Structure 1
Amino acid sequence: MDINKLPTKKLVSLFMQYNNDSSNLFRWGWIQNADIVGEGWTNPLVALIEEKIQAKKLDRKSVEAFSLLVTPTQLSKSQLDQEGLLEILQEIAENTTLKKKFELDEDHIEAALHNEPILAKIMLHTSKFGHLTYGTGGPGNSHHEYLSILSGLIKQKVDPVKLLHQEKEKRLKLKKEIAKIEAELGLNPKELLFFSAFRRNTWLRALRKDTLFLWFSAADKLLTELGKRFDRSLDQMRFVMHQEFAQGIPSSDVLQQRMQAMVYYTTETETIIVQGEKAKQFIRGLPFEHENTVEVDEIYGNCACPGLTKGVVKIINTTDDIKKMQQGDVLVSYATMPDLMPAIRKAAAIVTDQGGITCHAAIVSRELGIPCIIGTNKATKVLKDGDLIEVNASHGRVKILRR
């Protein structure tokens, strides 16, 4: 669909349809978040495992067994993206002519691939997975990013066949380990169903977020085109409330104020929008609770993926922070998101303030096999860039070795 040729009324209607679809997504999507508040599912299941371990005198740690039992065996979109790219890389590596073209300077690769079927495959791959890194504000991966990644892998002489085999073996190993733990614990059919449902829920939660980012990507295309017609920037259009498309688009000045500060709330009779300085005053008048952070040498959270490692802290909360991340650093975040994956792939471990066992950090740490501690509540307040820490995820403990 060429949205540039659609009449404005049709564009608005299409955006409103997207808005309704997103509301439905949020409505059903909260089922996957049932584990967040108070660790509603996690604690009873960990307690069940601990009880069975003690009763059978097994040489296992309950948190490690739990982490395995709730790890999805079904591939996530992120894993499909990675494996699909490796399959494209394999095709390139096995074709001497193609391989030479990907060894060129990145600025010349696309021109060299003119009329090559591989370029169409990369474009198709981009349409399927480019949105995974879009986040809430973009940009996602374009075909240029994928060309750059493939070129880098070719120049590094990465063996795609070996990596694909490793991924396949990792999945088979996971399934065998889950079956082994289930047998050792002697889980009954009802208990097996609980853990199976948890694995499915974890996978669905990742899918929910991936779908949401696809929605943001598509909605921004519509808002960009609408912005051209109303002489507003994309950033400004993101602050137009859906009912205002019918009532009248606010001025650029009003939208600019909303970008600085905005409060949106409803009463029984009306919807109220406050922006700019008035919004700042409103926010300052709210009764916030201020937490006094005491300097400590250790903090604790919940194990999402077991392991023990040391590394230098890097606080990564936004995409602007990614440039700080070096290979082997410990990524510390309020809560990770898919748009932080370039930093996450370099991490020796992950530590977060928030999140349950089905949160993004928990999911990707198990996919990557790196230690992860979630739900510390204060990691980003206590830890600073440059701190050297020990992450003992198996015990949910972070120890500060040097500030």
Structure 2
Amino acid sequence: MTRGNVDLKVLWYLPGSVIEYAHQTGVGKNLQDGFIHFAAGGAVCYFPVDQIEAYVDELVEKVVRDRLWVKEIHDKCRAYNAEYFASAREVEHLDLLNLSNTELAAIGRRLSQMQEKSHMIAVSTTWLVDSNGETFSKMVMAKLRRALPEESGLEPMYTYSILSTPTATNFTLDEERDFISLAKHLAADPVTRAFFTAGRDLTADFALLSIDAQEAIKAHADKWCWVPYTYVGPAYALGHYLEELRQLFSAATSLDELEADALSRLKTIAEKQTEILSKFYLPDEVKYLLDITREIIWLKDYRKYCMYYGCYVLDRVHRESARRLALSLSQVNHLTADELAQALSGGPCDGDLLNERKKLCVLSYTAGRQEILTGQAAADFLAAKKIEQPAAEPNADLRGTCACPGHVQGTVKIINRPEEMDKMNLGDILVAHTTFPSLLPAMKKAAAIVTEDGGVTCHAAIVAREFNIPCVVGIRKVTQLVRDGDIIEVDAIEGFIKRIA
């Protein structure tokens, strides 16, 4: 699930909700048990092998044969997440100080419920369908490969990469376009542009900018600062945008060219798709599966960003709750929604228990019952489980799945946290366990992206395709098998990497 940067406010209803949702949709009746191992800000979700294998096989078959079922789920996913985002936007602008404890608890509970509803509705197609060895994606790739005539001259992985890339806009692209528009607005005033290239302390001297410039920058920051928040933050401070503007203006980059690229990127992908499809006949089933793949990739990104914004806003509510309960924000974020409501109503709240949960806990769902285990009970639970743990073998075949084709060599930089991004130089190869939005500045510099986690619908794959960066995902233990400074070759056509030096 995630190796860090998460807390119980996004986990407390899992894995029970995943299993219950599977049952509600009529798929996965044999999926009965699961647990989440949470420790030190990281969480991993486990299901019994026989149960998850049977469920995924049934799910893939359902997606292939029941188009109406998929459409209904995806339509609901769009609607629920749009509602969630709009509700969070309203809460962001509330004066929380003037709310009663009852009102504050009700807002927190509603956001938590909407988070669960919007995230669970499409968890089957946007996560579980590819959770067991990328069953769905590999099936689609195999069907596409068989449909490609040799005389077309089309390379299968390149073809799949293009045809599976969404052509609808997303939060990342919208923010990029807004930022370029902001830069063009500021650059129209020579004095403002000179402010950013004079080597000054931008944050300390911010008030020296014109009122118009200050308001424009603040408006952009207010609208988009949540983008890197993921589950626990932080959001971007104003200084982030000031530094981005400094780098942009200092590089003497053509803003018109940047704007043209941002505006045409999706159109270019759509044109490539049309060109490819003009070269051969695509069977209806394969066309449908590629349509669904694009939809899954887009929805996965959309629902994640809606959740990130929801977490950003929910933490505002939890921060005020923490103040009233004399707890830390981190402690409040390890309460369930019901526990927080009870605490705000004057009920008991054990700070020591919350600290134990932060260190180690297990969220277990067995026989229709969900519970949270901490301390020794959690340790005993884990000790009794037999969990598959692939070993990191120095001579292992460093092979994964191609997410965006290409072939490059470069210097490895292992980056798993935002604070590690300073070591990333243009043209380096970014290697990570997984990626998330706050790593985007480093990802844009990468000559290639390599991850341990994820399949062709993961965050790294989505970003790589949008920016046409060669990418290989799913190389087990790769962050333990290469080191910063290694020179490696990335073959994102065959899907492997090789150490050069």
Deviation at 1:5, TM superposition (A): 1.6
- Normalising by structure 1, what TM-score? 0.91
Do 1:325 and 1:343's aligned partners in 2 also have CA atoms closer than 8 Å? yes
1:124 aligns with 2:219: yes
310 and 297 in structure 1: CA distance in 2 versus 1, 3 angstrom threshold: farther
1:25 aligns with 2:118: yes
Counterpart in the other structure of 1:224: 319
Deviation at 1:270, TM superposition (A): 6.1
Distance 1:111 1:214 in 2: 29
1:95 aligns with 2:189: yes
Distance 2:367 2:141 in 1: 43
Distance 1:384 1:152 in 2: 29
Is the partner of 1:38 in helix, strand or coil? coil
- Normalising by structure 2, what TM-score? 0.74
1:147 aligns with 2:242: yes
Q: What letter corresponds to residue 333 of structure 2 in structure 1?
A: R
Counterpart in the other structure of 1:60: 154
- Which stretch shifts more, 390-399 or 279-288? 279-288
- Which stretch shifts more, 328-337 or 389-398? 328-337
Counterpart in the other structure of 2:208: 112
Deviation at 1:268, TM superposition (A): 5.0
Do 2:403 and 2:472's aligned partners in 1 also have CA atoms closer than 8 Å? yes
Do 1:392 and 1:398's aligned partners in 2 also have CA atoms closer than 8 Å? yes
Count of residues in correspondence between the two structures: 400
Is the partner of 2:122 in helix, strand or coil? helix
Distance 2:114 2:262 in 1: 35
Q: What letter corresponds to residue 343 of structure 1 in structure 2?
A: A
Counterpart in the other structure of 1:253: 352
Deviation at 1:178, TM superposition (A): 0.6
Do 1:131 and 1:141's aligned partners in 2 also have CA atoms closer than 8 Å? yes
Counterpart in the other structure of 1:358: 457
Q: Deviations over 1:144-170 (max 9, x none)?
A: 321221133123322211111233344
Q: What letter corresponds to residue 389 of structure 1 in structure 2?
A: I
- Which stretch shifts more, 248-257 or 69-78? 248-257
Deviation at 1:142, TM superposition (A): 3.0
Q: Deviations over 1:223-244 (max 9, x none)?
A: 1110011111111111112221
Distance 1:205 1:216 in 2: 16
Q: What letter corresponds to residue 58 of structure 1 in structure 2?
A: S
CA RMSD of aligned residues (A): 2.3
Identical columns (%): 28
1:198 aligns with 2:297: no
Counterpart in the other structure of 2:136: 41
Is the partner of 1:133 in helix, strand or coil? coil
Do 1:240 and 1:249's aligned partners in 2 also have CA atoms closer than 8 Å? no
Task: Specify which structure has the bigger relative contact order, considering alpha-carbon pairs within 8 angstroms and separated by 6 or more residues.
Answer: 2
Do 2:109 and 2:338's aligned partners in 1 also have CA atoms closer than 8 Å? no
Is the partner of 1:365 in helix, strand or coil? helix
Q: Extract unaligned runs of 5+ from structure 1.
A: none
Which of 302, 326, 339 matches 1:207? Answer: 302
Distance 2:364 2:177 in 1: 44
Counterpart in the other structure of 1:182: 277
Counterpart in the other structure of 2:165: 71
Distance 2:368 2:166 in 1: 46
Q: Extract unaligned runs of 5+ from structure 2.
A: 1-93
Do 2:412 and 2:431's aligned partners in 1 also have CA atoms closer than 8 Å? yes
Deviation at 1:190, TM superposition (A): 5.0
Distance 1:153 1:378 in 2: 36
Counterpart in the other structure of 2:100: 7
Distance 2:426 2:180 in 1: 21
